[in-house]
Amino acid sequence: MTDVTADAVAPDARRAGRIVYGATVVFLCAWVLVPLYFLLINTLSSPQAVNAFPKSFIPAFDLGSLTFFANFSGMLNALKNSVIVAAMTMVMSIVIGAPAGYALSRFDFRGKELFRLLILLTRAFPLPLLALPLAVLFIRTGLDDTAFGLALVHTTLAIPFAVLITYSLFSGIPIELEEAAWTLGCTRLTAFTKVVLPLILPGITASAIFAFVISWNEVFAAAVLTIENRTLTAFLLQTLGEAPLHLKFAGGFILVVPALIFIFAVRKYLFAMWGIANR
Amino acid sequence: MNARLLPYLLILPVTLFLCVFFLYPFLLVSKQAFTQGAGFTLENFRDVASHWKFPISLKNTLLLAAVVVPVQLALALLMATMVNRMEKGRDLVLYVWTIPLGISDLAAGIIWLAIFEQSGFLNSMMTGLGLAEQPMNFLSYQSPLMVFTAIALAEIWRATAIMLVILVAGIGLIPKEYYEAAEVFGASPWQRFLRVTLPLLRPSLQTALILRVVLAFEVFAVVAALGGTLFPVLMGEIYSYQFDLQNSNGAAALALVVLGISIAFTLVILRVLRVPKGATI
């Protein structure tokens, strides 16, 4: 069938089509990569070079900007806070979210649809806004300006994803495997830990990483809820007005690097995660 | 363990967590928006709406969403269909195209600042090619269109990937037989896209659009990095109500405005792209 249509189209037109196709792919890849390359050049230039004109289009591999970044008062502390908050978010969203994902994939229970609706609702909601009332609440409970308080808000952001992603991951493992384990003398719990968990672990890791990235990147709630213990995003936002250019670019670069690694690490799961998660 | 209770036990932590950190703050922010001192009042909304920055920041937010989201939708659809027929290098191309998914809006703003600032790469290129005599200051109050363009480009660059991922996953679920049948009946690639891909992609389009539109109204850090105060948007105004004006009631009222707009658009998208009952793949 395809041969017939292929013959019907002139070979010239087909070749032209393929060239346009290839060129578009290359152009779209460049559209993503070139701005990142520019950031890399700026990060690896000396502060003088960053503020100079015109710019070189080849990185100078000067660590001046990064050293300045590291020595900027409060910056390393902010970096540390970011990592702590993101790690807490990662752990909490999986520990709280994964059981619900398992329940959704394995059981039919009353209220299941309502529960799914609640989860979906949170996604169609500008969640960072909820940091405003929580700021007041946290002052009363002593959670204000702490990594844990911010991690709680970030967990709210990450939890819908954690539930839906683990739901789709658990659904991919046949229940027969578990049932076989039960007949061989496993309890529900041991069947889970010995059969399901090893199979699901890479996927769980991927969704944990995703939760980490959500928290690592979040700006608004972080800026609202932290004052002394700023995270990196909140700190950079606060200094945007007066900070020199090389500090901004080095900071932006530090923000981007983990994201690049994480997306690479979870790339296999990205589509599986979204495939079922979106219906 | 009682098998009937187990599912409820398993969803209990999430439900509790969302009640405390999602529903409760939502009630709190509503209460805050409608009170001043003691008692119910609409004063906060009147205050906020009569501030001279409110109309402009509302207009900017909506305009930005109206420009950015359709471009992203078209771009994401193009990328998804291109990836779908790719044989070689699919994984690599997909990885590259999804990189922005992991990049924060603040970082994206800073990245595009590197291009648009006065000693940045756009100016370097233009003078290098002889298109301009000397570097121009793009991001100033004298060139509002340029500020808007820079912000829109940064948003398109950053947030197309999330739509792409959802659409690629959605296209992957469409059975190949439909395309084969369409080909048998002589449908051109363009017709196949319009008559097969688009209708069957509706659930994914719905999700992608809702997520993206809600995020578009939350635009904040990209604007802060590129435009600063030159381009006021709603989220930025909320931030300055909370911190610069120390008026958390005003901030709460504005937050409810953003919430209302988000919910309204979500309902519209759900309605327009609704999936007919029983019409699943």
What would the pLDDT profile of A224-261 be if each residue is shown by its tens digit?
Answer: 888 888 999 999 888 887 888 888 888 899 999 988 88
- pLDDT at residue B69 in the model: 95
**Mutation test of the interface with chain A: which of B4, B85, B104, choosing the one with the most A Cβ atoms within 10 A?**
B104
Q: Is the pLDDT of residue A5 over 60?
A: no
Looking at the fold, whether A147 and A21 belong to one and the same domain comes out as no
Output the pLDDT for position B278.
Answer: 59
Q: What is the pLDDT of residue A279?
A: 43
Q: Is A233 on the interface with B (CB under 8 A)?
A: yes
A213 and A83, same domain (yes or no):
yes
The complex's ipTM?
0.86
Comparing A94 with B2, the larger pLDDT belongs to A94
Does residue A40 sit in the same domain as residue A145? no
Look over chain B and give the mean of its residue pLDDT values, rounded to a whole number: 86
Amino acid present at A122: T
A30 is in which domain, residue-wise? 2-64
What the block records as the tokens of B55 is 């109309």
User: Chain A contact for B170, CB < 8 A?
Assistant: yes
Strands (E) located in B74-137 = none
Query: Domain residue spans in chain B?
Result: 53-272
* Co-location of A101 and A33 in the same domain: no
Measured from the Cβ of residue B175, the count of other Cβ atoms closer than 10 Å reads 11
The structure tokens listed for B187 are: 């449908």
State which of A32, A64, A96 marks the end of a domain: A64
Q: Is residue A69 part of a domain?
A: no
Structure tokens at B273: 């792209």
**Could you count the other beta carbons within 10 Å of the beta carbon of residue A7?**
9
Average pLDDT of the segment spanning A85-99? 94
Listed by number, the residues of chain B in 181-200 with a beta carbon closer than 8 Å to a beta carbon of chain A are 183-184
Q: Is the pLDDT of residue A73 over 50?
A: yes
Domain presence at residue A252: yes
Last residue of a domain, one of A64, A85, A111: A64
Instruction: Say if A203 falls within a structural domain.
Output: yes
The CATH number assigned to the domain holding A115 equals: 1.10.3720.10
What is the model's pLDDT at position A256?
Answer: 92
Q: Confirm or reject contact between A25 and chain B (CB < 8 A).
A: yes
Mean pLDDT score of chain A: 84
**What average pLDDT does range A175-183 have in this prediction?**
88
Instruction: Say if the Cβ atoms of B112 and A35 lie within 8 Å.
Output: yes
A259 touches chain B (CB under 8 A): yes
Residues in contact with A107: Cβ distance below 8 Å, sequence separation at least 6, in sequence order: B6, B7, B10
Residues 124-163 of A with CB under 8 A from B: 124-130, 132-137, 152-153, 155-156, 159, 163
Q: Is the pLDDT of residue A194 over 90?
A: no
Residues A118 and A202 in one domain: yes
CB-based contact, A73 to chain B, within 8 Å: no
Q: For residues A179-184, give the mean pLDDT.
A: 89
pTM of the model: 0.87
Phi-psi region of A74 (alpha: psi -120 to 50; beta: other; left: phi over 0): left
- Please write down the HEC assignment for all residues of chain A: CHHHHHHHCCHHHHHHHHHHHHHHHHHHHHHHHHHHHHHHHHHCCCHHHHHCCCCCCCCCCCCHHHHHHHHCCCHHHHHHHHHHHHHHHHHHHHHHHHHHHHHHHHCCCCCHHHHHHHHHHHHCCCHHHHHHHHHHHHHHHCCCCCHHHHHHHHHHHHHHHHHHHHHHHHHCCCHHHHHHHHHCCCCHHHHHHHHHHHHHHHHHHHHHHHHHHHHHHCCHHHHHHCCCCCCHHHHHHHHCCCCCHHHHHHHHHHHHHHHHHHHHHHHHHHHHHHHHHCC
The residue among A21, A28, A189, A274 with the most chain B CBs within 10 A of its CB, best to mutate, is A274
Q: Does residue A278 sit at the B interface (CB-CB below 8 Å)? A: yes
- Mean pLDDT confidence for A17-21: 89
> Tell me, what's the pLDDT at A6?
47
B162 or A59: which leads in pLDDT = B162
Which residues of chain B fall short of a pLDDT of 70?
1-2, 277-281
Give residue A148's pLDDT. 92
Q: How far is CA B137 from CA A38, A55, B117, B141, B144, in A?
A: 18, 15, 7, 10, 11
Residues of A in contact with B216 (CB under 8 A): none
Q: Which of A16, A45, A64 is the last residue of a domain?
A: A64
pLDDT at A4: 46
Q: Specify the amino acid at residue A141.
A: T
**Which chain B residues touch A279 with a CB distance below 8 Å?**
203-204, 207, 280
Cβ proximity of B112 and A35 under 8 Å:
yes
A230, A268: one domain: yes
A27 in contact with B, Cβ within 8 Å = no
Please indicate, yes or no, whether residues A19 and A82 belong to a single structural domain of this protein.
no
- Do A219 and B95 count as a contact with CB atoms less than 8 A apart? no
Q: How many separate domains does chain A show?
A: 2
Question: What is the CATH architecture of B53-272?
Answer: Orthogonal Bundle (1.10)
